[in-house]
Amino acid sequence: MGLMGRHLSPAVVLALCFGAGVAAPGQDTAQPDEAFRAANEHARGGDLARAIDGYRQLAAHDAESASLYWNWAQAALQRPTLGEAMWALLRGREVEPGDLRLSEEVERVRTAASLDPAEIAPEPLAVVARFARRFHLDLLALILLGLSLGAHLLADRLQWGAAVAWTTGVIGLLIAAIPLAGALARNTAVVVTPNATLFSAASPTADAVGELREGEAVPILGSSGDYLRIEDSSGARGWARLADVWPLDRGPAPQE
């Protein structure tokens, strides 16, 4: 489904995507499944605003999945709102780091938005964090360190106890360093509004100091009320409205 986007028109891709009836994984109750199908029906019928509102409500109520964000992105592309589509794809990749079709679609949207690779990946350590989550390296490190401790306790009874203890301990510590390094990555947000304003302060009356590129991912330096302090790819720092830049570390708030 994701690869078809490179060869078929967006309308055909959308029809195939929503017509496939893919259920969002991890949903155990009928209500989220029904809401997901209803949103897909709205998208297939061309009511993209209601479809996206449905996806937004599901995400806001902990029904996040790669399928949800994939469909959200396809609907956003039809509007077209490239920034929102990019946010949905990158958020989906955060939720399920192992979904390769999302990564492929990110590249397609990045090209359509004329963004450099660095403009959607401003934090190299975020890649490390996704790698650690994808392969559950924190759990693997914990298991190895547990084995090391057990081997140390049994070193006098086992012929190779000491060697196993030190080997598993060293490997466990090396693996544990990967998620620890990933945890140092700054949170990022995606610019979802075309020509979003960068302000000098967290106030609607503040001076404009620049414009942000739609679809660009920007590190978050701080927050104040409905504003985020960010840094764009050129190094300019300032404040942007939360409505214009959506953080990637959480799903969106439900619309009032």
Ramachandran category for residue 48: left, alpha or beta (phi over 0 → left; psi -120 to 50 → alpha): alpha
Low-confidence ranges of the chain (pLDDT < 50): 1-29
Q: Cα–Cα distance between 132 and 97 in angstroms, integer?
A: 9
Q: Cα–Cα distance between 65 and 128 in angstroms, integer?
A: 21
Question: Tell me, what's the pLDDT at 63?
Answer: 87
Given CATH 1.25.40.10, say whether it is the number of domain 3-114. Answer: yes
Closest of 71, 70, 61, 11 to residue 38, by C-alpha:
71
* 238: β partners: 230
Query: What is the secondary structure of 139-163 as a DSSP string?
Result: HHHHHHHHHHHHHHHTTTTSTTHHH
Contacts of 9 (CB under 8 A, 6+ apart): none
What are the start-end ranges of the E strands in the chain?
188-191, 196-199, 208-212, 217-224, 227-231, 237-241, 245-247
Hey, where are the domains in the chain?
Answer: 3-114, 127-182, 188-247
Question: Tell me, what's the pLDDT at 190?
Answer: 97
- Classify residue 95 by burial, with Cβ atoms within 10 Å: 0-12, 13-18, 19+: middle
pTM above 0.85, yes or no: no
Closest of 48, 41, 30 to residue 84, by C-alpha:
48
Quick one: 188-247 is in which CATH superfamily?
SH3 Domains (2.30.30.40)
Distances in Å between the alpha carbon of 57 and those of 154, 173, 201?
53, 41, 31
Residues in the chain: 256
